[in-house]
């Protein structure tokens, strides 16, 4: 973003931030209001919609049976895909996933995978042959900045809401039984994103801030306050001191969110 308008806007935003203020009235480390709704798509095995301010993300999960990876024969498979749907923003275009949606999918995936959120060993039906495959599809419906945190949150909310088919093994045969059991979840990773504008860090950037930021930085924190995934993005840089400061803020912020959501 380098048009004259964004440069003017950038100055305005940077001047406000220097005074500890933001365009939308938040403090530098305040997160926008979070709303989580679960179970909104009946046809999906699990679903959730998250509103982070005006950013809106829907996640649906589907469960199928399939083959495990050869290096993890006793574990179910997690597959995350993300779509930046064209109706969400004038800057999203139809077509195959671009690097932004692939990066988003991989950030969401990393948070869930590295925190060991799903008890994947319980998704094994027959070691080496048959396991449950969990598909997590992230759908960004309205882009008003920081769809990373909203997507990560919606993905975990949808997984918590996911039912999987009930089955039993009789004489070596797998038989599906009626009814469903909840997807075995162990952890609830929460992701917090920072933006750097000039030499200041802000939490949960909204669209206008994202358009003028130098770089961003997302951190997933697990239930014990450990860091489980990080991704820096954007063409700017961070100093080592900023990164370490951000880690501390991220820990506090996720505790705050965790309390609100009772995760």
Partner 1 sequence: MSQKPEKLIDKKGLRLDGRKPDELRKIKIEVGVLSNADGSAYIEQGKNKILAAVYGPRELHPKHLALADRMVIRCRYHMAPFSVQERKSPAPSRREVELSKVIRESLEPSIFLEYYPRTGIDVFIEVLQADGSTRCASITAASVAIADAGIPMRDLVVACSAGKVDDTIVLDLMDEEDKLGMADVPVAFMPNANAITLLQMDGTLSLEEFETAVNLSLEGCKKIYAMQKEALRAKYVLLKEDEE
Is 56 in contact with 154 (CB distance < 8 Å)? no
Q: How far is the CB of 87 from partner 1 (least distance, A)?
A: 23
DSSP letters of 28-42? Answer: TTPPPPEEEEE---T
Task: Specify the DSSP class assigned to residue 205.
Answer: -
- What does residue 24 show for φ and ψ, rounded to 5 degrees? -95, 15
Residue 237 backbone phi and psi in degrees, to 5: -140, 170
In angstroms, the CA 219 to CA 191 distance is 5
Q: According to CB under 8 A, which one of 230, 254, 257, 263 is a site residue for partner 1?
A: 230
DSSP secondary structure letters along 165-194: EEEEEETTEEEEEEEEEE--B----EEEEE
Site string for partner 1, 90-129 (x = CB under 8 A): ---------x--xx-xx---x--xxx--------------
| Binding span for partner 1 by CB under 8 A among 39-47, 155-163, 165-173, 241-249 | 241-249
Site string for partner 1, 20-49 (x = CB under 8 A): ------------------------------
Closer to partner 1 by Cβ: residue 180 or 237: 237
- Based on the shown chain and the rule CB under 8 A, indicate whether residue 248 belongs to the binding site for partner 1: yes
User: Which listed range, 58-66, 124-132, 162-170, 234-242, lies at the site for partner 1 (CB under 8 A)?
Assistant: 234-242
203 DSSP β-pair partners: 194
Residues of the shown chain interacting with partner 1 in the complex, contacts defined by CB under 8 A: 2, 99, 102-103, 105-106, 110, 113-115, 215, 217, 222, 225-240, 243-244, 247-248, 251
């Amino acid at each position: 973003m380098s048009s004259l308008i964004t440069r003017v806007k950038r100055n305005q935003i940077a001047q406000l931030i220097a005074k500890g203020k933001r365009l939308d009235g938040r403090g530098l480390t305040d997160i926008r209001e979070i709303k989580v709704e679960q179970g909104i798509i009946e046809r999906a095995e699990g679903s959730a919609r998250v509103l982070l301010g005006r950013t809106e993300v829907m996640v649906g999960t589907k469960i199928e049976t399939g083959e495990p990876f050869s290096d993890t024969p006793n574990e179910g498979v997690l597959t995350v895909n993300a779509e930046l749907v064209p109706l969400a923003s004038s800057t999203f275009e139809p077509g195959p996933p671009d690097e932004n949606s692939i990066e988003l999918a991989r950030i969401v995936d990393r948070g869930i995978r590295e925190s060991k959120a799903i008890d994947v060993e319980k998704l094994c039906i027959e070691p080496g042959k048959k396991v449950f495959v969990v598909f997590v599809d992230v759908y960004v419906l309205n882009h008003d900045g920081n769809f990373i945190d909203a997507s990560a949150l919606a993905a975990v909310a949808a997984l918590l809401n996911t039912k999987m088919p009930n089955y039993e093994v009789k004489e070596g045969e797998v038989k599906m039984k009626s009814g469903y059991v909840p997807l075995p979840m162990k952890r609830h990773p929460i992701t917090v994103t920072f933006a750097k504008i000039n030499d200041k860090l802000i939490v949960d950037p909204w669209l206008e801030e994202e358009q003028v930021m130098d770089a961003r930085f997302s951190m997933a924190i697990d239930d014990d306050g450990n860091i489980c995934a990080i991704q820096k993005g954007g063409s700017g840089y961070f100093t080592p001191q900023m990164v370490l400061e951000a880690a501390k803020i991220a820990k506090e912020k996720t505790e705050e969110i965790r309390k609100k959501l009772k995760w």
